[in-house]
Amino acid sequence: MIELRGIGFRYEEHEVLRSVDLTLDEGELVLVSGRTGVGKSTLLGVVTGLVPRFTGGVLTGDVLLDGTSIVEQPPRERAHLVGYVGQDPLAGFVADTVEEELAYGMEQLAIAPETMRRRVEETLDLLGIADLRSRDLRTLSGGQQQRVAIGSVLTTHPRVLVLDEPTSALDPTAAEDVLATITRLVHDLGLTVLLAEHRLERVVPFADRIALVAGDGSIRVGPPGQVLADSPVVPPLVELGRLAGWEPLPLTVRDARRRARELPPLVAPAPVAVRESVPRLAARGVTVVHGSHVAVREIDLTLSVGQVTVLMGRNGSGKSSLIWALQGTGRRASGTVDVDGEDPAALAPAQRRTHVGLVPQTAADLLYLETVADECAAADTGAGSEPGTCRGLLDRLAPGIDDAIHPRDLSEGQRLALALSIVLTARPPVVLLDEPTRGLDYAGKAELARIVADLATHGRAVLLATHDVEFAAHVADEVVVLADGEIVSSGPPRRVLAESPSFAPQVTKVLGAPWLVVEQVAAALAGGAR
């Protein structure tokens, strides 16, 4: 139905896509995958028409819809054919309330009022958001916003839906809701969906085909089992399948569980010996109140030397509020925080930084200078450390970053590493990270896991908040789950993660507790073979 023919795209000297051919059939869900920065969003942009109009660069080749070329049409003239939802739905909202937002696209297309009224109601029901109809868009949760954004492009009855990372900012449950909605559209309405996502573990079971953007400008398209066999980015399930030599590769937990019976009996990993823990940060009865809303309710938390604590929970469960309160900038309503005998909230900002370091959700908020070298120098003078301290940290965290590069041009992972080095320059014994895995692909996350482990071995107490179950399984010494501002469970990951149906990593779902990550299985298999 939609056909990309010989698409090429390049910025001045950098070639992003080269002679790409891709045909999307009616009622098909095609997943665009690949490492960050290889051109996944560019490929989507070619279909919506935003590339090259909003990005610059030179586009060659042709885009056909039902045999007619639409490559010359700007996005607005394709609005009735192609629906697009960007990475941050909130940034794309035009209206105030859910109902008006759903109607906006139809107003632009001059659809008759009676039809608009009917379609808004139908869409509200289809996406299960009827009870939100008059809500302010800004008060919705992330998953609700994403569903409203999808609904608002559906009302114009497009033929193709293009989604750029629809679940990357969502907690596991909200992501499942959104994906269930998308599959329902594909199955019931025969909608064609083109979707980019790097959390493959979430979307692979729903994909009909995968288009793997290789990074050299070419793409490889095929059924998931075939493409994932040698893809550089794969979900843990496929990793497990590769390891065990299963053919065809399992794509759903159900498949894998059936195959897992063939595995030789494995010796379960021994529980990690509880180390003598030296508390670094002790919080007692911390409460944070925003207006009349209690964000964090009387939480007790201890962060110990050399331990990584992972904070999990739904969007809006109080993770960020807790992190900012522990750092001292966020105001607490009551409770005490103690870092080496001092309360960070009572200190001046400069001293606070030497007690608790925090990397906020948007790491870019920390950066303001033109080059990496300038940023590092400013961090050194700001912290009163020897020149070169920050750069040294950066080289340890993410080696090989050019001094003269603009921080905005770094990849997400590199930018995070830079922000982290700046924070670490003040040598805080406690490091807090708020959602550091946003926008990182599997390689980026592996790198981050190494960095976090490195911080812990250097004696720092680390707390990080994340939605990413697989990442948590890799790094956590202890997991704390928040709900509605209270701790609902805490303890070692093999207990907490395995207990919860929504927070269990894929390997646990297949093999049961205490298995958490593929590496454990690999070690056990190797041990069994010996």
Query: Looking at beta carbons only, is 126 or 433 nearer to other proteins?
Result: 433
Tokens of 324: 């900012």
Site residues for other proteins, 39-58, by CB under 8 A, read: 48-50, 53-54
Q: Any residues with CB less than 8 A from the CB of 529 and at least 6 apart, and which?
A: none
**Pattern of binders to other proteins over 71-110, x per CB under 8 A?**
---xxxxxxx-xxx-xxx--xxxxxx--xx--xxxxxxxx
- Bridge partners (DSSP) of residue 357 are 431
Nearest approach, Cβ of residue 438 and other proteins (Å): 15
CA distances 442 to 35, 165, 227, 492, 520, Å, are 8, 14, 17, 23, 18
Say if residues 236 and 201 touch (Cβ distance below 8 Å): yes
Using rule CB under 8 A, residue 3 touches other proteins: no
Using rule CB under 8 A, residue 389 touches other proteins: no
Best CA proximity match to 40, nearest among 6, 88, 93, 87: 87
**Chain position carrying tokens 């839906």:** 161
Using rule CB under 8 A, residue 290 touches other proteins: no
Query: Looking at beta carbons only, is 21 or 96 nearer to other proteins?
Result: 96
Q: What does the alpha-carbon distance between residue 166 and residue 444 come to, in Å, rounded to a whole number? A: 19
Query: Looking at beta carbons only, is 105 or 172 nearer to other proteins?
Result: 105
Nearest approach, Cβ of residue 217 and other proteins (Å): 24
Query: Looking at beta carbons only, is 31 or 50 nearer to other proteins?
Result: 50
Site residues for other proteins, 206-245, by CB under 8 A, read: none
Site residues for other proteins, 343-372, by CB under 8 A, read: 349-350, 352-353, 357-360, 362, 364-369
Longest CA–CA span in the chain (Å) reads: 73
DSSP tag of 410: S
Tokens of 473: 């399984």
Using rule CB under 8 A, residue 168 touches other proteins: no
| Amino acid residing at 35 | R
Nearest approach, Cβ of residue 234 and other proteins (Å): 30
Helix (H, G, I), strand (E, B) or coil at 11: coil
Query: Looking at beta carbons only, is 427 or 495 nearer to other proteins?
Result: 427
Using rule CB under 8 A, residue 32 touches other proteins: no
**Pattern of binders to other proteins over 467-506, x per CB under 8 A?**
----------------------------------------
Helix (H, G, I), strand (E, B) or coil at 335: strand
Strands 82-85 and 160-164: parallel
Using rule CB under 8 A, residue 192 touches other proteins: no
Segment near other proteins (CB under 8 A); pick from 121-129, 150-158, 171-179, 294-302: 150-158
**Count of CB atoms situated within 10 Å of the CB of 358:** 24
Nearest approach, Cβ of residue 115 and other proteins (Å): 9
Site residues for other proteins, 117-146, by CB under 8 A, read: 117, 120, 134, 136, 138
Using rule CB under 8 A, residue 376 touches other proteins: no
Where are the extended beta strands (E) located within 419-468?
430-434, 461-465
Say if residues 159 and 65 touch (Cβ distance below 8 Å): yes
Cα Rg of the chain, angstroms: 24
Best CA proximity match to 325, nearest among 216, 517, 482: 482
Nearest approach, Cβ of residue 277 and other proteins (Å): 26
Specify the length of the chain in residues.
Answer: 530
Site residues for other proteins, 405-424, by CB under 8 A, read: 408, 422-423
**Chain position carrying tokens 């400069």:** 350
Query: Looking at beta carbons only, is 215 or 382 nearer to other proteins?
Result: 382
- Bridge partners (DSSP) of residue 3 are 23, 64
